[in-house]
Structures are given as C-alpha cells and as structure tokens.
Amino acid sequence: MLCEHQHYGGSKGAPLRTIKIKRWKRGGWEETLDEVAEEGLLVLYISPGSKITFVCTPKDIKEMVFGYLLAQGFIRSPDEVQEYREEWDFSVGFPGEVVRVEVRLREEVHLPKIETIWSACAGERLELRGLSPFCPQPLFSPRDLLSLPTKISDHVQGFRRTGAYHYAFLFDANLNLVAVGEDIGRHNAADKAIGKAFLCGIPLRESILFTTGRITTEIAAKAVHAGIPLLVSQGAALLGAVHLARKYNLGLVGFLRGQRFNLYCGEAWFKT
C-alpha cells in the first residue's frame, strides 16, 4: 500500500498550467493549448540561521523537507525535528507558489548561511557523517528488478502530460510500492519519496529506491544516509556515484530497461 502521509497545504496534484502556444507542424504554424509544469520556491530556514532555497514542484513539501534532512544526514528520526512551521505565500512575484518552512532541530547543524538549490541539481556539498558501509545480504533477484518498471506505469501521468517531471519510487522487501516522489528536480523527487516513507515509519533497510533520472553522486549519498541498500535507475550512473557506492557497499543499478540492466556495485545484494 502506498504511503501518503496526511499533510495538507499547497497543491494536491502535480501543479500544471494550461497556456496558449504555437506549434510548428506539417510545414505551418497552428495555435493550440499546452500543459506546462509549475515551478515553486521552497525557502527552508534551519534554526539558528541557515537558509536554503529550493526550486521545486510545490507539493508534498513537508515530506520533501523531512526526506532532505534524513538524506543529508542531519536527522535519523522524525522526532529530532522539534519544531516545524510552514507558511504559503501566493503574493510573491515568482511565477508559482512560494512556501516558507522553518525547522528547529534537536542538534544544531552547520550550513552556509544562504544556499540556493535549483531543480536540476541539489548542490555540491556532500558530507557523509560518520557512516559505515552496508553489510550486504541477498535480498533481491535479478528478476525482481526486471519487474519494477511494470509497477510504476500508473504513477507517471505528469511526465506523460508534460515531459517535465522526475520520479522516485520506494519499494519494500516484498516489492510493494510504498512511496512515490514527483518533482521537476530528480533530487527533490528522491527526497519526497524518502520523506513519505520516513514519516510513515516504513523501514528503509531492506528497500529499493528507483529513480527515473540519472544517478548522481548526491542521489547515491542520499540513499546511503537514508539506509537504502539498493539504488536503481532507468538511466546512467555517473562515475562519482559509482565510487561512492563501492566505498559504502551500496547496490547500484543503471539502464534498467526491458530484460537487462547494468550492475555497477553490489552483487552480494542479489540472490543467486
């Protein structure tokens, strides 16, 4: 069963705007309507003084914040967030919704005073805080992985309509789809999926994170911080992600398409 943490505010579905455009087709112009994905701003204040601005899809904001904090290694449990305040602002000139969130953590974290994280990349700061490598055990078979794309087809309607969204899917040890993250940024989508499972109390130690975007070093680091042993993509894995996966025994799979995939690291996670 999908985990949908009961939190409301902002847009319920993926925010789309219908606009007039002109399309070149069959040698001439035609006027038509098109659906485009909306960008929003999340301004996250982490007391006592850090400010991070994300360009993101304005939905599942609380889940994204908690997923980000877990996946960056700032917290290990939801109750380490001692205060959470969220305020939506529709009066700002940005062409989309703006939400301001303030959190106070049990332990202070030291971040740059101001940082902006755009939708395409979640920043370059990577600090894996005192983490030990995974101890691999055979959890999944190759056939299990090949079945994953058939389980997500009903959850990518926003991409089919606009071509604008990335998705992240979390599967449990029984290959049940337990959380979906949808965003214009692949890192944000991963944070949302992780945050939904985290807030619902779903164990991540025997889970699979399946992303539609390429696997960057930072997404691999998010999986390690969150305790997710297997990271899978339909696209490529970048070299930094491979190095990090091999250092921490993270299972890393790319180009999961049809009846094949590439395994960059983590053969011990697979049943023979």
Cross-strand pairs, 29: 24
Instruction: Decide: 140 and 176 in contact? Cβ < 8 Å.
Output: no
What does residue 230 show for φ and ψ, rounded to 5 degrees? -135, 125
What does residue 150 show for φ and ψ, rounded to 5 degrees? -70, -20
Q: Which of 3, 121, 200, 265 is catalytic?
A: 121
Report how far apart, in Å, the C-alpha atoms of 92 and of each of 15, 35, 68, 162 are. Answer: 17, 22, 25, 25
Instruction: Decide: 106 and 82 in contact? Cβ < 8 Å.
Output: yes
> What is the C-alpha to C-alpha distance for residues 57 and 60, in angstroms, rounded to an integer?
8
> What is the C-alpha to C-alpha distance for residues 53 and 36, in angstroms, rounded to an integer?
22
- In the residue annotation, 135 being an active-site residue is answered as no
Q: Which residues are catalytic?
A: 121
